Amino acid sequence: MPIQINEEKVSLIHSSGSSVEVYFYGATITSWRCGGKERLFLSKDSKLDELDGIKEIHGGIPLVFPQFAKASEPSAETANLPQHGTARFSTWKWLGVDVDNDEELTARFGLTDAQVPENLHKEWPKKFDLIFIVTLTADILKNILEVRNKGTEPFGFNALFHTYYSVPDISKVSIKGLNDITYSDKVKNFARFKDVKDSITIDQETDRIYENVPRDEFLIDLGQPGGVDNFTLKKFNLKDTVVWNPWIKARSMSDFGDEEYKNMVCVEPGTVTEYVKLEADKTWKGGQILKVQL
């Protein structure tokens, strides 16, 4: 069966054998397997059986909406929301399959403001519809987020795909495509720098927001012979990119293994340095395409 559904999640299985699992909680993708390997990192300490509207899943591809970081201005409309907003802490609905053939399998998930937990909804009572579209092929995972303003006034929002890649050895990983881009460094109190190296490597805690990135395609090179298992990331209508690895700070995180930082890196396309302004009855769309070199 290409689709398996239970009360917690949906599993999509492509004719090639590749598969993806999407939890209704947060519409978080927790697994993407292709070529016989798991391609996304999910902490072994993730408490998937304790999801209750306040926990977040560390791993997979969590969806961030309507804000990324805690709002810096107390007057901001999202000021009282938690980091990463509300979509990640809400239970989404299954909307069904759009495409099911030998080439691709595409499914949709939905969230309205009425589905947001009451304690969060009261802090940002905007009327909206979100549609999350997941497409799976033999070697590609495509994600699209659609945001529709169902209210009578414009609202502003951030959106981001918080993608955790599984890597065999972080010391061998290089990320290509973000050179000559200004970034703010959270580890260094949001000081601003420009990366002039051809590629980014990770050898310490890393938490950077690359701003207004003109390139739409990046390479996540795992350092394997012949480029096997490398990822290509394409983004669309997402102007910023976050790169994150907690390094040894992971040891103080209750749902993250002490040494797991050595086997993951987050490269997260989004629009987070400024709010997108969405007029009433209008729709915004952004997304990412992940491809594995098999």
Residue 78: pLDDT band with limits 50, 70, 90: confident
Please report which confidence band the pLDDT of residue 69 belongs to, taking 50, 70 and 90 as the band edges: confident
Average pLDDT over the chain reads 94
Mean pLDDT value across residues 5-10: 95
DSSP state string for the chain: --EEE-SSEEEEE-TTS-EEEEESBTT-EEEEEETTEE-B-B-TT--TT--SSS----BSB-EEBS-SSPPSSTTSTTTTSPTTBTGGGSB-EEEEEEEESSS-EEEEEEEEGGGS-HHHHTTS---EEEEEEEEE-SSEEEEEEEEEE-SSS-EEEEEEE--EEE-S-GGG-EEES-TT-EEEEGGGTTEEEE--SSEEE-SS-EEEEE-S----EEEEE---GGGTT-EEEEEES--EEEEEE-GGGGGG-TTS-TTGGGGEEEEEEEEEEEEEEE-TT-EEEEEEEEEE--
What is the pLDDT, as a whole number, of residue 194? Answer: 92
Over residues 18-45, mean pLDDT: 96
pLDDT at 196: 87
Please count the other Cβ atoms lying within 10 Å of the Cβ belonging to residue 176. 16
For residue 74, name the pLDDT band (cuts at 50, 70, 90).
Answer: confident
191-210 average pLDDT score: 94
Over residues 259-273, the mean pLDDT reads: 97
In the chain, % of residues over pLDDT 90 = 86
Mean pLDDT, residues 241-264 taken together = 94
Is the pLDDT confidence value at 52 over 70? no
State residue 250's pLDDT score. Answer: 92
Provide the domain limits for residue 158: 3-292
d(CA 137, CA 101): 10
- Least confident segment among 54-58, 156-160, 232-236: 54-58
Whole-number pLDDT of residue 50: 61
CATH number of the domain where residue 63 is located: 2.70.98.10
pLDDT (0 to 100) of residue 79: 84
The whole-number pLDDT of residue 139 equals 97
Q: What integer pLDDT is reported at residue 76 of this predicted model?
A: 81
Amino acid letter, 251: R
Asked whether 201 and 245 are in contact (CB, 8 A), the reply is no
pLDDT attached to residue 51: 63
Quick check: 190 pLDDT over 70? Answer: yes
Token couple for 38: 């798991």
Q: Annotated active-site positions, please?
A: 162, 268
- List b or e across 38-68, with b for residues whose CB sees 16 or more CB atoms inside 10 angstroms: ebbbbbeebebeebeeebbbbbbbbbbbbbb
Rounded CA-CA distance 204/212 in Å is: 24
- Tens digits of residue pLDDT in 120-147: 999 999 999 999 999 999 999 999 999 9
The confidence score (pLDDT) of residue 255 equals: 82
Q: Number of folded domains in the chain?
A: 1
Q: Which residues of 193-202 are buried (b: 16+ CB within 10 A; e: fewer)?
A: eebeeebbeb
Stretch 251-264: mean pLDDT:
92
Task: Quote the Cα angle for 70-258-260, to 5°.
Answer: 85
Q: What is the mean pLDDT of residues 233-251?
A: 97
- The pLDDT value recorded for residue 195 is 84
